[in-house]
Amino acid sequence: MSEPNKSYWEEELYNKKHDLIVVGSGLTGLSSAYFFKKKNPDARVLVIDRGFYPIGASTRNAGFACIGSVGELVSDLELETEEVIKQRIQDRYNGLLLLRETLGDENIDYDSCGGWEIFTDLDEYVRLSDYVPRLNSIMEEMIGEKEVFEVRTYLSFPSFYNCVEGMLHPGKMIRTLYEKCIQSGIEFRWNTNINHIDTETNFVSSQSQIRFQAEKLIIATNAFTNKVFPKINIKPGRGYVFITKEIDQLKWKGTFHYDKGYVYFRNVGDNRILIGGGRNVNYDAETTSEFGVNEEIKKYLVNFANDTLKLPESWKIEQEWSGIMGFTESKSYILEDIDKNCVLAAGLSGMGVALGMNLGKKASELV
């Protein structure tokens, strides 16, 4: 069946030039649209996304509000300068504060439970313990909090406790922000696959031959950026997550990291546990923008639940899924002009919850 010609009314409604078009409706994209519209209430703002809701990582992550475990931060310090790490910590912390302030803790089920990092390798734990005073000094300097990390135990596991972390509901986070965007008058085009973006004329062309034009563009496509801009060095990284059926007297309460943050888990409600990660078990296979379950990683995480967490023998997976993250070579996000009136905000490297809203706000100010 051929496509119908547009009516006069449709031409008037849909073909007007926008002041801003945002490509990508995850946390970064929605935030950039929201803050731009807030500053420019009369502006015509459009958000375009290929799904009928965000399907990258913003609603498919584990719901951790974290700024970095001891293991992760020490690993970063061994590769990068302290100044880079300081800026990263500050960006994550400020991003979470902005997220909570903008959306409200009650609307995103925010729980300031703190974060734990557990160890089975005692030698590694002792080695990392020596870094705790240095990291606490950095935290006090960058976020104004004293003694953020504590050397403790959890269920007999040698552990570090982080008092400024928490957890939230990613679905409610995006829904609340989307509702704020709608209330402010931002327009949306869902199920719109983009095949070309002309950054000189700011035309955005869809696979269905519909073209949109704006004075300014923000590209917030994170893991899928190189599908439109192949030269941008952001690699996709798939993350696997599962949630269990109810477990009587679940002992694990809070947010937890293991193995430099590559494995993460948390309680959901009183009787379910969510476990995810393990990407380092098979990096090559997980450097993909295709959704799916890597059986090798699933087996690794199931064994972790059995052998390390000692879940009851009767526990079962209720639901499993994957999300696609976008990683830069340095783990620092990209915020830069692609052209005169086109900004790229992407590459959150697995820290989208902490970084996404503030990155979106910065992008809205840059255009």
**What pLDDT digit, counting tens, does each position of 31-48 carry?**
999 999 999 999 999 999
* Between 294 and 12, the higher pLDDT residue: 294
Do 272 and 163 fall within a single domain? yes
Residue 106 is assigned to a structural domain of this protein: yes
Do 337 and 353 fall within a single domain? yes
Do 215 and 337 fall within a single domain? yes
Residue 256 is assigned to a structural domain of this protein: yes
DSSP one-letter string for 239-263 = EEEEEEPP-TT----SEEEETTTTE
Q: Which domain holds residue 227?
A: 18-59+171-233+330-366
Do 163 and 203 fall within a single domain? no
Residue 12 is assigned to a structural domain of this protein: no
Do 212 and 359 fall within a single domain? yes
Residue 96 is assigned to a structural domain of this protein: yes
Do 181 and 278 fall within a single domain? no
Would you place residue 296 in the very low, low, confident or very high pLDDT band (cuts 50, 70, 90)? Answer: very high
Residue 208 is assigned to a structural domain of this protein: yes
Cβ contact 35:27 at 8 Å: no
Do 160 and 107 fall within a single domain? yes
| pLDDT of 38 | 98
Do 240 and 298 fall within a single domain? yes
Residue with tokens 């059995």: 306
- The domain that contains 137 carries what CATH number? 3.30.9.10
Do 245 and 161 fall within a single domain? yes
Instruction: Give the contacts of 282 (CB within 8 A, at least 6 positions apart).
Output: 294, 296, 297
User: 236: which DSSP letter?
Assistant: E
Read off the tokens for 265: 């888990």
Do 46 and 178 fall within a single domain? yes
Strand, coil or helix: 150: strand
The total of structural domains in the chain comes to 2
Q: Exposed, middle or buried: residue 37 (CB in 10 Å: 0-12, 13-18, 19+)?
A: buried
Do 94 and 161 fall within a single domain? yes
| pLDDT of 207 | 85
Distance CA 262, CA 279 (A): 7
Helices (H), the chain: 8-14, 27-39, 70-77, 82-103, 122-129, 132-143, 170-183, 225-228, 283-286, 295-307, 352-366
* pTM of the predicted protein model: 0.95
The radius of gyration computed from the CA coordinates of the chain, to the nearest angstrom, equals 21
Would you place residue 51 in the very low, low, confident or very high pLDDT band (cuts 50, 70, 90)? Answer: confident
DSSP one-letter string for 78-115 = TTS-HHHHHHHHHHHHHHHHHHHHHH-GGGTT-B---E
Apex CA 195: angle with CA 193 and CA 200, to 5°? 125
Residue 64 is assigned to a structural domain of this protein: no
Do 278 and 311 fall within a single domain? yes
| pLDDT of 64 | 97
